[in-house]
Structure 1
């Protein structure tokens, strides 16, 4: 069954009427000897010829219109629901090794397993980009409330991510499946009455006590992936080193037995013109220390020599760069020492617990 649209029916009707008019006006189509109306003169003939020309032109254009098929509609482009983002900047091969994150980074679960099996015992900066890394402090429940209060009053240096209940070793709120807080950092330190008695311990299960409460505190390694994705270089990662960390004269707020504690800061150098952007990016990560606490002159915060970090590795500040300082979770280890807490286990500086929390 054929169908026609109202538009095509109207055109065909008009063509039919015009063809009849054309047949009447065309002298060759008239019957010979057809009578003429009286009074027709030359003026009438001229008007008739003019009208005939207009109608014939209209008829011709309409015939062309109906005989030419309409062009096909343009193809509809396939929608792209998730456009591919712009790739990160290509590393400058002249820049101190031109290291960036590996294209297929190790997931946190495999890194934790590598720590547990003692195959990974080095710092975690540059590993598992975009996942939340944390400091670890395990101390007796008798000191836990004062420490919790210290963290709450000093969120820049001790941003609480999770508190693992007394005696528990699986931080289930920040991992998928199972983890063990006693084995899943690359390395640990142990303190007795404020004195560092053991360092670089890869497995602290022999030292574990059932009265320990564990605090997980955000680490600045977390926001390094965001900086790199925007084209900024992290020199200690480029050089395969731990971040530089320094004791300062910046005071924390007292809480219980934790009194008179000063900040430890991490330092990363950046070009002076990039500092504002670096601040804007890192301040979006308040649970990983957020924006820096100081930019520029290290002497003004009590650091006498950048070439001699108190923790981590030396990082050179090149001409045209300025040192940028962030609050550091090692402040909490200094708090444990300063308060002479009876017993405590912490991560070794730079050897973080990597969670499954995606940032």
Structure 2
């Protein structure tokens, strides 16, 4: 039975339970596969002077940067303003009640003046109560349970690995200080005959990146991905048997399928070379919310 630093992985079935485990420094690895059906979120924390430009960046780039919630006011780490709509309603759904943005991701990255400064299990010492604003961005982990339920489990989940993520050449629509950024994509291999089913399953998850933006080996080249075996973030993809590298001529006809990825905002922040202390989740180590997919996207058809 799989365990995560003393926690039984199979008992982490809700967003609050996963956050409690992370807050206790008991989650050492990625959150993929935890709390099935609960929305997972990427985190970026910015000084308040950049908040307006970042909101606009999300509005202009909704596929890679779907904004779910943000600090209720500058400095708030335990209260959120939610943009999550309840099953196509005009009213917002609370993202999470008992939450601490400083401690509820299993691992964080801290940047100083555009350079990576540290990796840590919490950011309490870095958080500035009068200045920092936390933003939660939708995560493609949120639709992985639906894929698994349809008999199409993502390979990295089955192999207990982190999803591979790649920097691309696709430019973001700029916003204020955020210029020069490009899409980041996550990748999951599937057979060509399964692509339409994969698209059908994931397209309703509009606030967690939705359906794939590209698939196939020619698409990888168009995205500017030079080597599928060397992602910029996450774990290198393996063949179906978990042994060799995933590649064009080595995996029984599987092809790469690419989705927008919530690491995109962190990449945009790094390209912007912002001054001050910026923080975010370590790729793959998400904050899991209280909201379940059926509450936002409706029941699967």
Task: State the SS of the aligned residue for 1:196.
Answer: strand
Please give the alpha-carbon distance, in whole angstroms, between the structure 2 residues aligned to 1:136 and 1:161: 10
Unaligned 5+ segments in structure 2 are 1-8, 83-93, 239-245, 294-301
Paired position in structure 1 for 2:57: 150
Of 53, 75, 79, the match for 1:167: 75
Of 330, 333, 352, the match for 2:263: 330
1:121: Cα distance to partner? Answer: 2.3
1:233: Cα distance to partner? Answer: 2.3
Paired position in structure 2 for 1:262: 182
1:171: Cα distance to partner? Answer: 3.9
| Counterpart mapping for 1:314-325 below 5 A | 314-316=236-238, 317=246, 318-325=251-258
Please give the alpha-carbon distance, in whole angstroms, between the structure 2 residues aligned to 1:178 and 1:244: 30
Instruction: Report which of the two has the higher share of strand.
Output: 2
Task: State the SS of the aligned residue for 1:268.
Answer: strand
| 1:124 matched to 2:61 | no
Change (3 A) 1:252 1:176: closer
Paired position in structure 2 for 1:226: 146
- TM-score if structure 1 supplies the norm length? 0.70
Change (3 A) 1:338 1:109: same
Does the 8 A contact of 1:123 with 1:186 survive in 2?
yes
Please give the alpha-carbon distance, in whole angstroms, between the structure 2 residues aligned to 1:163 and 1:196: 23
- Indicate the structure (1 or 2) with the bigger Cα radius of gyration: 1
1:340: Cα distance to partner? Answer: 1.3
Of 303, 309, 320, the match for 2:231: 309
| Counterpart mapping for 1:233-312 below 5 A | 233-297=153-217, 298-312=220-234
Please give the alpha-carbon distance, in whole angstroms, between the structure 2 residues aligned to 1:167 and 1:312: 30
1:157: Cα distance to partner? Answer: 0.6
Runs of 4+ in 1 over 6 A off after TM superposition: none
Structure ranking higher on relative contact order (CA contacts 8 Å, 6+ apart): 2
Please give the alpha-carbon distance, in whole angstroms, between the structure 2 residues aligned to 1:352 and 1:131: 12
Does the 8 A contact of 2:144 with 2:153 survive in 1?
no
* Paired residue total: 257
Deviations 1:5-31 (A, max 9, x none): xxxxxxxxxxxxxxxxxxxxxxxxxxx
- TM-score if structure 2 supplies the norm length? 0.83
Deviations 1:240-260 (A, max 9, x none): 000000111111101101111
Deviations 1:231-282 (A, max 9, x none): 1121101110000001111111011011111111000000110001101111
1:104: Cα distance to partner? Answer: 5.5
Please give the alpha-carbon distance, in whole angstroms, between the structure 1 residues aligned to 2:79 and 2:19: 13
Deviations 1:125-170 (A, max 9, x none): 0111100000001101100001111111000111010111211011
Does the 8 A contact of 2:144 with 2:154 survive in 1?
yes
Deviations 1:41-77 (A, max 9, x none): xxxxxxxxxxxxxxxxxxxxxxxxxxxxxxxxxxxxx
| 1:347 matched to 2:281 | yes
Instruction: Report which of the two has the higher share of helix.
Output: 1
Change (3 A) 1:233 1:260: same
Task: State the SS of the aligned residue for 1:111.
Answer: helix
| 1:356 matched to 2:290 | yes
Deviations 1:258-307 (A, max 9, x none): 11111110000001100011011111001100011111121111001111
Unaligned 5+ segments in structure 1 are 1-101
Does the 8 A contact of 1:171 with 1:181 survive in 2?
no
Deviations 1:182-215 (A, max 9, x none): 000000001111111112x101101111201111
Does the 8 A contact of 2:76 with 2:133 survive in 1?
yes
1:103: Cα distance to partner? Answer: 6.7
